[in-house]
Each structure stands twice: as C-alpha cells, then as structure tokens.
Amino acid sequence: MSTSPRPVAAVCQVTATPDKEANFSACKHLVEEAKEKGASIVFLPEGFDYIGSSREETLLLSESLTGDTISQYTQLARKLEVWLSLGGFHEQGHNWESDRRIYNSHIIINDKGDIVSVYRKSHLFDVELPEKGVSLKESAFTIPGPCLVSPVQTPIGKLGLGICYDLRFPELSLALQRHGAEILTYPSAFTVATGAAHWEVLLRARAIETQCFVLAAAQVGQHHEKRSSYGHALAVDPWGEVMGDCGGERPGIVLVEIDLEKVSSTRRNMPVQQHRRDTGFYHSLEKT
C-alpha cells in the first residue's frame, strides 16, 4: 500500500475589481499562501484578472496571452514551482484589431511557468432574469470558443476544463470524462441570484454523473456598483460529497487532498459508464 502523500489542490475565492494591479496582488497572496500550505496546484476563478464595470472598460483592459498579466502569472508559477489554473482571462480575439472582441480563456500553467493548455469558454451567459435583477449578455463582446480541449495531466490527476456557464451543460462534462478526465473544474463568477438557486446542486450533479472530483474557484462579493458574485468556491468528491466550501462572504482558499482511488472505487462500485447505452439509443426518440 502506497504511503506517499496525496496531492493537495487549493481552490480560491477572490473579489476582482477593474483594478488589475490590485487583483494581481490579491491573487498572488492567495497563491503564496496555498503553496506554503502544501498545494501543488492553485485554482483561480473566472475574471481573476479583472471584472470591468462596462463593456467599454472590459474591452479596454483586455490583453493577449503574451501580455503583462499572463507574464506575471507564468513568472509566479515558475518562482513558486506551483501549477496554476487561471479560470477566465479576458483574451483579445484573433481578429482583435478589426472586430474588438475577446475570448473568455481558461489557462493552465505548469510549475516551470509554461502554458500547457488554453480552453476558451464555449457557452456564453446571455440571460435576462428581470424578477431577480440579472441582465448579462456575454456575447455582446465575447467570442464562443471553437472546441473543447483534451484533459490535462497535472500533479493531482487529469483535469477537464470548463468555465462558469459551461457548468449547465452536462454534455461537456461527459465528453471530458470520456476522454479521461478525473477532475473537472468550473472557475466561475456566478451571480448572487443564480448562485443561491443552482451553484451547489449543479456542481454536485456534475460530480455524481461523471464520477469525477469537481473543483470550482469563485468570485465573491461586490466588484463595482453594478455587479456582485455569490462566492462559495467549492470542492466536491466523485460521490457528490462537498469536501470544502469558502463561504459567501470574503476571499480565501480551501485546501483539499485529491485521492484518485476515490475516482477508481466509485466507478468500479457503480459502473455508470459501462451501463451507458450507445449514442444512437439516446437519439432514438428523435426518429419516432
């Protein structure tokens, strides 16, 4: 029986504002704290770089992957020898000069400071809930990502990448699981209204149906006068049990050990994927 220590992941909760320098300072502090406490990979939420107060400000502050913000994080990862999941970066699109549109990009950086994967959010949050005071149209300035990306081998296991609203689409999580994901991650900036109603139940559902760990860094609190986030950065095990919750009040981190034997034993004891019928079976209703 192995006596080697289980790897530790740090799931972070932050309150980003339009001030990129202050945001980096706050995130850097959390990463340093996580590293001191033994984390081998640190998860930061969607909008870790900033949350703008208008479409114009959001676009003005955006950068490319070779800009200052990502350079700061690659240097930090290299210096601390820690992996980073940067959960939602405002990346200037490939035709930025002509169309002024961006991607919402989830970037994985290894402990040598190399970018090893970039996933661009594929489901955009265009939602009007007037009775709950929610009105957001992400597609007004964001390009949907062209494809999913293969799970990434990390110190805690094979990591499947999503971002925020992607959480509502089980097809995405099941595709990542079929391609080897042992851990799914949904860095987010859920609104207070949708978070209170759906956040935990969706994260637990994705864990249960894929029999993966689910790690979800989150934004919390007031970003500016127009926007606030629900918080409750969460870690869930493959049985759907909540392992850690950052709460809904303030920035912080939750540290969790990742025991991949939990993935193996859960899948072995309840072999859901073996019981799944072929794709044609689930489309059979469409032919009737």
Whole-number Cα distances in Å, 157 to 94, 214, 259: 31, 12, 9
CB 258 within 8 A of CB 184: no
Q: Please pick, among 12, 35, 63, 121, the residue that the annotation labels catalytic.
A: 121
Annotation marks residue 121 as catalytic? yes
Q: What's the one-letter identity of residue 192?
A: V
Q: Please pick, among 27, 46, 158, 212, the residue that the annotation labels catalytic.
A: 46
CB 11 within 8 A of CB 52: no
Angle formed by the axes of helices 200-210 and 170-178, nearest 10°: 30
Annotation marks residue 32 as catalytic? no
CA atoms within 13 A on the CB side of 141: 17
Q: Please pick, among 164, 212, 246, 262, the residue that the annotation labels catalytic.
A: 164
Range 38-61 burial, b when 16+ CB lie within 10 A, else e: ebbbbbbbbbbbbbbeeeeebbeb
Annotation marks residue 112 as catalytic? no
| Catalytic residue set | 46, 121, 164
